[in-house]
């Protein structure tokens, strides 16, 4: 659903009308409704829509500015009932829709650069074509544009940080722009990954979430998935992939500290999914089952253990060959930042 001239459906405050004045040959005109182009217009309109549809958002409705997505229902009749609820709310609030831009009863829709289907989520063909047809970058600005496009879909790209490293190397200060084989391989690799991306499942509150993490001397990796059976963990459905390269002093960490770092980073990265829910935390480093215990921890591990205390998780061991996060951490990383502390350490309060 799309609002008709959305901003114009928001009246201006009386004392703000004069601030919208503009001069023409026929005199000075002022907006009585919110014009396009105001800095605060997007947030104001979003707040209004959140107020109107707030009780439905996240249950069977999503709102981004003036685009409304309604989902759910086991049948077309049930779905229609949900649509009717949203329409009634919009009508009661005096909001109008643009009929030509509304689609009803669709099995899949394009929304915010993604194809939303009954089976899962994938990048939109339109944006994938932009990446596939992107000309080989000739300067830093073009590399940033390309990485920006790819980064929007990093949840679909296992090993994103490692694959992007050769390109990111060229955008750093005081680095000569030399396009080599490593950059060409990275450039083409993103096109290959996004041409046939994995289908990501929608988070389901009725299922248990599983966070698999791994670390190596190349980087950190994490995979968030969900299962119906907490004991067998069979038929995992991937929700998202994440990875990053090591930073500063992290390069010198012992393997146990690296694996612990992967745990804390992975949990913090997916905090919005995991906080307040029981989940399974999987590692391929068996020592982690014991190192977070106070009697056996170093000060660093004790601080990281404190970060995990607010989460309700079950720690399980899975061999590396069976851990989906293993590969995400092991591709060679060309570029590593030197100096500085790790991201996790910076966010972790010191304890005496």
> How many structural domains does the chain have?
3
pLDDT(296) > 80 = no
265 shares a domain with 240 = yes
Q: Is 250 exposed, middle or buried (0-12, 13-18, 19+ CB in 10 A)?
A: buried
Question: What is the domain-level CATH number for residue 53?
Answer: 3.30.70.270
Q: Do residues 167 and 214 share a domain?
A: no
Confidence band, pLDDT 50/70/90 cuts, at residue 348: very low
Residues 107 and 145 in one domain: no
pLDDT > 80? residue 326 = no
Q: Give the HSE-up count for residue 229: Cα atoms under 13 Å, Cβ half-sphere.
A: 5
Q: Report if residue 348 sits inside a domain.
A: no
- DSSP alpha helix (H) spans, the chain: 41-53, 76-92, 125-132, 140-151, 160-170, 181-195, 255-269, 271-274, 288-291, 299-308, 343-347
State whether 240 and 305 are in the same domain.
Answer: yes
Quickly state the pLDDT bin for 266 (edges 50, 70, 90): very high
The answer to whether residues 216 and 322 belong to one domain is yes
Residue 352 has pLDDT above 80, yes or no: no
Asked whether residue 294 falls in the same domain as residue 244, the answer is: yes
Average pLDDT over residues 33-62: 88
Tokens 């009863």 -> residue: 105
Mean pLDDT, residues 160-178:
87
Whether the pLDDT of residue 142 is over 60: the answer is: yes
> For position 350, what pLDDT does the model report?
39
pLDDT, position 325: 52
By CB neighbour count within 10 A (0-12 exposed, 13-18 middle, 19+ buried), where does 157 fall? buried
Residue 289 confidence class, pLDDT cut points 50, 70, 90:
low
User: Residue range 196-208: average pLDDT?
Assistant: 86
Q: Which of 162, 195, 228 is the last residue of a domain?
A: 195
pLDDT at 211: 93
Looking at the fold, whether 131 and 221 belong to one and the same domain comes out as no
Which of 324, 163, 340, 162 lies closest to 245, judged by CA? Answer: 162
How many helices (DSSP H) and strands (DSSP E) are in the chain? 11, 12
At 300 the pLDDT is: 80
* Three-state SS at 67: strand
Strand order in the sheet with 121-123: 108-111, 114-117, 121-123
Roughly what angle, to the nearest 10 degrees, separates helices 125-132 and 181-195?
A: 160
The pLDDT confidence band at residue 198, using thresholds 50, 70 and 90, is confident
pLDDT in tens, 205-242: 888 999 999 888 878 889 999 998 877 777 888 999 98
* 203 within some domain: no
- According to the model, what pLDDT value does residue 337 have? 41
Residue 200 lies in a domain: no
Burial of 287 (0-12, 13-18, 19+ CB in 10 A): middle
Within a domain: residue 347? no
Could you report the per-residue pLDDT of 93-136, keeping only the tens digit for each? 888 888 888 888 888 888 888 888 888 888 988 889 999 999 99
The residue from 92, 120, 148 where one domain ends is: 120
Residues 157 and 190: beta-carbon distance below 8 Å: yes
Same domain, residue pair 135 and 107: no
The answer on pLDDT for 199 being more than 80 is yes
Indicate if 286 and 320 belong to the same structural domain: yes
253 in any annotated domain: yes
Residue 63 belongs to a domain:
yes
Residue 147 lies in a domain: yes
* Predicted model pTM: 0.69
Phi, psi of 38 (to 5 degrees): -70, 140
- 291 with 183, same domain: the answer is no
- Gap between the terminal Cα atoms of the chain: 55
Q: What is the domain extent for residue 142?
A: 126-195
Torsions phi, psi for 283 (to 5 deg): -135, 155
Q: What does the pLDDT read at residue 185? A: 92
DSSP at 74: S
Query: What pLDDT shows up at residue 293?
Result: 65
């Amino acid at each position: 659903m799309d609002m008709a001239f959305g901003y114009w459906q928001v009246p201006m405050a009386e004392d703000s009308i004069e601030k919208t004045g503009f001069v023409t040959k026929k005199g000075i005109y002022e907006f009585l409704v919110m014009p396009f182009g105001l800095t605060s217009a997007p947030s104001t309109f979003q707040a209004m829509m959140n107020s109107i549809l707030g009780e439905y958002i996240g249950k069977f409705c999503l709102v981004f500015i003036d685009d409304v997505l309604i989902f759910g229902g086991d049948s077309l009749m049930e779905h229609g009932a949900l649509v009717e609820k949203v329409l009634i709310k919009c009508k009661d609030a005096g909001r109008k829709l643009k009929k030509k831009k509304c689609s009803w009863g669709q099995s899949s829709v394009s929304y915010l650069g993604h194809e939303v289907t009954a089976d899962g989520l994938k990048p939109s063909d339109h944006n994938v074509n932009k990446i596939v047809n992107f000309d080989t970058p000739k300067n830093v600005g073009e590399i940033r544009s390309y990485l920006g496009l790819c980064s929007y879909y990093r949840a679909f790209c296992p090993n994103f940080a490692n694959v992007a490293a050769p390109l990111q190397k060229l955008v750093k200060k005081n680095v000569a722009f030399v396009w080599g084989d490593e950059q060409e391989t990275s450039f083409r690799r993103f096109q290959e990954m996004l041409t046939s991306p994995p289908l990501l499942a929608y988070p389901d509150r009725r299922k248990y979430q599983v966070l698999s993490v791994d670390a190596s001397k190349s980087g950190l990796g994490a995979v968030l998935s969900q299962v119906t059976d907490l004991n067998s963990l069979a038929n995992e459905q991937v929700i998202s992939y994440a990875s990053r390269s090591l930073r500063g002093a992290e390069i010198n960490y012992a393997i146990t500290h690296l694996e612990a770092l992967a745990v804390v980073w992975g949990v913090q990265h997916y905090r919005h999914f995991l906080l307040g829910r029981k989940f399974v935390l999987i590692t391929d480093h068996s020592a982690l089952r014991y190192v977070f215990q106070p009697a056996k921890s170093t000060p660093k591990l004790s601080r990281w253990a404190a970060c995990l205390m607010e989460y309700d998780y079950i720690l399980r061991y899975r061999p590396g060959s069976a851990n989906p996060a293993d590969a995400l951490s092991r591709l060679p990383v060309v570029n590593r930042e030197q100096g500085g502390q790790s991201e996790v350490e910076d966010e972790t309060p010191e304890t005496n």
